[in-house]
A and B are shown apart, each in its own frame.
Chain A
Amino acid sequence: ETGVTQSPTHLIKTRGQQVTLRCSSQSGHNTVSWYQQALGQGPQFIFQYYREEENGRGNFPPRFSGLQFPNYSSELNVNALELDDSALYLCASRVGYTGELFFGEGSRLTVL
């Protein structure tokens, strides 16, 4: 148990819909990152939040957006879902910028 919890664990959406994934970070961790892991691939960095501000973003389009709340929990929102968005979405938290990352078990999204 890493102390990072994600919800929902599985969900199915159709193309064009919107989805919100949620993450509760480990106690005391003020940095949250989101990663996308397609089948057979390594996780790809989406973005990172530190103290409620986005401070880093990977090569993902603007329809991927996020929030971090004062209690350091976080949301990932994806608009206008595409088939290629089907993946495992991993949330990870840590203290500051360079501490060890602890991953949640992920939210598995299927887009039909």
Chain B
Amino acid sequence: RKEVEQDPGPFNVPEGATVAFNCTYSNSASQSFFWYRQDCRKEPKLLMSVYSSGNEDGRFTAQLNRASQYISLLIRDSKLSDSATYLCVVPNSGYALNFGKGTSLLVTP
């Protein structure tokens, strides 16, 4: 099992839609989790951190299920500007970040 696995993409959704991405991880000892956003040919940028059961920031909600070892990211009321690749990230031994392959989102008018 890969350390971090994400939904295969791409996701094509209309503006205003709600979309959810799932991510599973293999290290049951992991304590913190992250979602990064990466625009085409740019660097990854931190979107959300998840340390307990979940986190909400405006239209974005991240949820953590430790028993099943998965993290989800929900985007409500999608905007054109949300089009990007979303990377699920799980720290390894406290210093390295294990990234998933990413899920591509395209929001269309």
* B-binding residues in A (CB < 8 A): 2, 31, 33, 35, 40-45, 48, 55-56, 58, 88, 90, 97-98, 100-101, 103-106
**Distance in angstroms between the alpha carbons of A59 and B16 in the assembled complex:** 42
**Distance in angstroms between the alpha carbons of A88 and B100 in the assembled complex:** 16
Could you give 27 example pairs across A and B, Cβ below 8 Å? Answer: A2-B45, A33-B96, A35-B97, A35-B99, A40-B101, A41-B102, A42-B87, A42-B99, A42-B100, A43-B44, A44-B99, A45-B98, A48-B96, A55-B95, A56-B93, A56-B95, A58-B96, A88-B41, A97-B94, A98-B94, A98-B95, A100-B46, A101-B97, A103-B43, A103-B44, A105-B42, A105-B43
**Distance in angstroms between the alpha carbons of A98 and B95 in the assembled complex:** 6
Does B92 have its Cβ within 8 Å of any Cβ on chain A?
yes
Contact pick for B43, options A40, A58, A90, A97, CB 8 Å:
A90
**Distance in angstroms between the alpha carbons of A44 and B101 in the assembled complex:** 10
Interface size class of B (residues with CB under 8 A): 20 to 34
**Distance in angstroms between the alpha carbons of A43 and B49 in the assembled complex:** 18
CB nearest neighbor in B for A101: B97
CB-CB under 8 A from A43, the residues of chain B are 44, 87, 97, 99
Q: Is the CB of A104 within 8 A of B43?
A: yes
